[in-house]
């Protein structure tokens, strides 16, 4: 495999059902003038990639957004903390995944929010695609489904859905609906020759013992 197998990797995460205690961090208390950095520090978002310079914003009465940057690498976080529809997203692009390993990075993100369900989309060079299918199970979560989309131009996208093991796979999982829609769109693009989709492959996740 080429030495630059970590080049051009983009990571996107969508998380729902955030832990209530974790989500509470993103509510502003009345009269709180402590500044934007408090949510970043109390949630430990600043520890996801410590070298990133962060520009953050706290919404009133709740909510959070941040952009992190280091050279040409960047990361973003957006949080909607209300319990009925709590959601957080994370994206990293241009990061050196040779020095910042992908799986530990994902675990640091999960530690900030402890979601019930989450999905991961990894865009990367096609020659590294098979490696990403072998990313280990996240502790406390089960991989319930996944799909690989091969793109023209030597790129591919690996999309995987996880749910908390305590919850089980039989309960309605919003990420499953997202996955099905994503697969249908990808297949339609392949049929009509749109945006360079060359192949779509669904796969079942197998848990390690």
Structure confidence at residue 107 (pLDDT): 94
Average pLDDT value for residue range 126-138: 66
Average pLDDT value for residue range 38-67: 96
DSSP 47: G
Sketch out the chain's domains with CATH numbers.
1-115 (3.60.90.10), 124-209 (no CATH)
pLDDT tens per residue across span 104-118? 999 999 999 999 999
Counting Cα atoms < 13 Å in the Cβ hemisphere of 121 gives: 17
Structure confidence at residue 2 (pLDDT): 40
Residue with tokens 């969508």: 14
d(CA 65, CA 75): 11
pLDDT tens per residue across span 65-111? 999 999 999 999 999 999 999 999 999 999 888 888 888 999 999 99
* Tokens found for residue 101: 């390993």
Structure confidence at residue 188 (pLDDT): 53
Structure confidence at residue 196 (pLDDT): 44
**Lowest pLDDT segment from 7-16, 103-112, 113-122, 170-179:** 170-179
Residue with tokens 């909607």: 80
Query: In the predicted model, is pLDDT for residue 34 greater than 70?
Result: no
């Amino acid at each position: 495999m080429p030495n630059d197998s970590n080049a051009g990797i983009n990571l996107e995460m969508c998380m729902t059902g955030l832990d209530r205690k974790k989500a509470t961090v993103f509510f502003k208390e009345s009269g709180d003038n402590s500044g934007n950095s408090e949510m970043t520090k109390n949630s430990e978002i600043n520890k996801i990639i410590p070298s990133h310079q962060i520009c953050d914003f706290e919404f009133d009465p709740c909510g959070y957004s941040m952009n992190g940057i280091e050279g040409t690498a960047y990361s973003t976080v957006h949080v909607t903390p209300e319990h009925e529809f709590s959601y957080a997203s994370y994206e990293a692009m241009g990061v050196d995944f040779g020095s910042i390993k992908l799986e530990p990075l994902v675990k640091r993100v999960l530690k900030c929010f402890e979601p019930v369900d989450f999905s991961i989309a990894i865009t990367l060079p096609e020659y590294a695609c098979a490696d990403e299918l072998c990313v280990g199970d996240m502790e406390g979560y089960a991989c319930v489904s996944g799909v690989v989309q091969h793109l023209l131009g030597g790129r591919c996208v690996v999309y995987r859905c996880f749910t908390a093991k305590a919850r089980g796979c039989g309960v309605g999982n919003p990420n499953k609906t997202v996955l099905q829609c994503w697969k249908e769109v990808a297949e339609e693009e392949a049929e009509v020759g749109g945006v360079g989709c060359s192949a779509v492959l669904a796969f079942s996740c197998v848990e390690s013992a």
